[in-house]
Amino acid sequence: MKNSNYFIPPLYILLLINGCKSVVTKQIEKTNTSEEVEAKIPPFEYKRTDSDSILLKRFLGHYKDIYNKDSTQLNYYGAEIFYEKDSIFKVINLYGDYVGATYNPVAESHIAYRNNLYKEYVSGETFRIDKLSPSKYLLYTDDYNRLSSNFHFYNVTFNNDSIVIEETTEHKNFIYNFIYKKKESMDNYLEEIKNSRKLEKNELYQLGIDSTKVEVNEKYYRSPDAFLSRENPYYYGSIYYRQKYGDETMKVLQFNHNDTIKEITLGIVGGDSDSYKMTSEFVNDSIFIQSLVNQETIVDINDTMGYAFDSIVTKFKYNEKFDLDTISKDTFKYKKYQFKKYGAPAENHIYYSKPFKINNLECYWETKLEITFDDNKKPLKAKNITRKLINSKTKKTLLISQPDMIIRDEKSLFYSSSDDFKDFNFDGYADFSIYNSVYSGASHAFYDNYLFNPKTKKFDYSKKLSGSEITVDNKLRTITLYYNMGRSYHIEHIIHYDLKGKILFEEKFIEELVKEKNSEEYYYLKTYQKIKNNKIILNNTEKDKNLSR
């Protein structure tokens, strides 16, 4: 009954057996058809040099020495360490079975905390731990009997030298832990159907399908894939395919909880050349996502093929009963063109972001990039990247970014990049800034900055503000431009604005590494400039021979 997905992580807590500790514990009683056996951890010498595997071997060996000698007692055969990330304790799951005429497995969860391995234990295998507070945790256990699971939940509170264990009914959706296949891509659905059993009409009643309403070209298959990795009397999930030739194939989950049946579509493939496809994913114990992609051929001439894709991503909240509650529904659009360039395959991709408002204008991003491929048809780095901000109503371009911008990830191209919009000149309108990967180097970050023009309702490239790192101080109403050309030259340029967004004055702090005339020595020439109305009204310089930087 051990879950093959469990692993044995490193055990860094020293396990020191202390049978005299005063532990306030609610005793967890376990009833079984076989004779009740009181399990106690026999004391043994802890060795700091023991590895995790050796520790488990010795831990299991002590149980075997005591109980496995008597065939009427428990037979222990395995142990694994289980814990969640950043947990203050670890659990040793001990596995065994009662000796008898029929197979009757047993598992126990022993807790290691603060150099102690407590003799008090929880019946069942711990498969999940939720942190409720820094000292309180919720243990999910499977106290299975024969081939069926029995789930229990325990609050474990840790004190300095004791633990308190209390059974509870409060828990999260732990079914997520047992979902066998959390992602459905439908990439291999034809192969999966080949390995599935076709259902006859007289078997469809098991799925709640009226066989008299099944069309001639409609076929059903029972998938051999299990939905849950553990069988239990509380939850049951089965998967079947519904196939209509020339139309679509659906992969459907039928979930039964307390005789209440829910059906959820896990995947769809349909249309000519699979022109639409739905995939799905159980993201965590509360979020389920369906992604439907519609593909349309828009260009088919000579060596060029063009496709348009509309993706509808629906996010649901689900519970242990598999009730679905829609959280959001987003639509994403992009195009792909396949062609030959210099005799080699290449692709152009065009991404359209979700519409958003900036400076009271409804707009969206259009991002174009080119992808080439190596001899093994693996995509190389995207290049020739350009991005346009387009007015949704007039379709006019508001700005064109410099080429070859850095793409954080493909998903980011569908969003507004709102973090890149800031008011740089304090005129009440959002401006735009983007990192330039071409001109930036190891010592200098180059940003392209665009100021919004309220008259033309466009963003104009600002040569004055570009080519540097830019910092905005809303309290002082200043922006600072920092130019760093390595050790030899850098500038800090501060621009001060008034309440209406007009420049009051500017300051420049310049440091330049200069070589002395007729000498091999160097010094820093420090220059301070104050500028008003584009004229230098103050200019001070001084030498600094301290070259330690």
One digit per residue, the tens of pLDDT, for the chain of length 549 reads 444 333 333 333 333 333 333 233 333 333 333 333 444 444 545 455 667 788 788 878 877 776 666 555 678 888 998 988 778 888 989 998 887 767 788 999 988 887 677 778 899 999 999 999 999 999 999 998 877 899 999 999 998 778 899 999 999 999 999 999 999 998 888 888 888 888 887 788 777 787 777 877 888 999 888 899 987 888 888 899 998 876 789 999 999 888 888 999 999 999 877 789 999 999 999 999 999 999 999 999 988 999 999 999 999 999 999 999 999 999 999 999 999 888 888 999 999 999 999 999 999 999 998 888 887 878 777 777 888 999 999 999 999 876 655 565 677 788 887 778 999 999 999 999 888 776 676 667 788 899 999 999 999 999 999 888 889 999 999 999 998 877 688 899 999 999 888 999 999 999 988 888 888 888 889 999 999 999 999 999 988 777 665
**How many domains is the chain partitioned into structurally?**
3
The range of the structural domain enclosing residue 535 comes to 468-549
CB 402 within 8 A of CB 448: yes
Shared domain for 207 and 137, answered yes or no, is no
pLDDT of residue 365: 92
Shared domain for 305 and 187, answered yes or no, is yes
Shared domain for 265 and 314, answered yes or no, is yes
pLDDT of residue 70: 57
Q: Which residues of 155-180 are buried (b: 16+ CB within 10 A; e: fewer)?
A: bbebeeebbebeeeeebbebbbbbbe
Shared domain for 473 and 546, answered yes or no, is yes
pLDDT of residue 334: 93
pLDDT of residue 490: 86
Shared domain for 183 and 160, answered yes or no, is no
Within-domain flag for 341 = no
What residues pair up with 449 in beta bridges, in sequence order? Answer: 433
pLDDT of residue 382: 77
Angstrom CA distances, 132 to 157, 311, 519, stand at 10, 38, 70
Within-domain flag for 449 = no
Name the DSSP class of 380: -
Within-domain flag for 434 = no
Shared domain for 19 and 148, answered yes or no, is yes
Within-domain flag for 89 = yes
Within-domain flag for 419 = no
Shared domain for 57 and 10, answered yes or no, is yes
Shared domain for 197 and 316, answered yes or no, is yes
Model confidence, pTM? 0.71
The domain boundary, picked from 302, 335, 368, lies at 335
The domain boundary, picked from 335, 360, 378, lies at 335
CB 267 within 8 A of CB 186: yes
Shared domain for 153 and 183, answered yes or no, is no
pLDDT of residue 282: 97
Shared domain for 215 and 117, answered yes or no, is no
Within-domain flag for 199 = yes
Shared domain for 224 and 311, answered yes or no, is yes
pLDDT of residue 38: 43
Shared domain for 20 and 124, answered yes or no, is yes
The domain boundary, picked from 151, 171, 191, lies at 171
- Give me 437's structure tokens: 């990967």
Within-domain flag for 346 = no
Q: How far apart are CA 311 and CA 184, in angstroms?
A: 16
Within-domain flag for 433 = no
Secondary-structure breakdown of the chain: helix, strand, coil percentages, each rounded to the nearest 5: 10, 50, 40
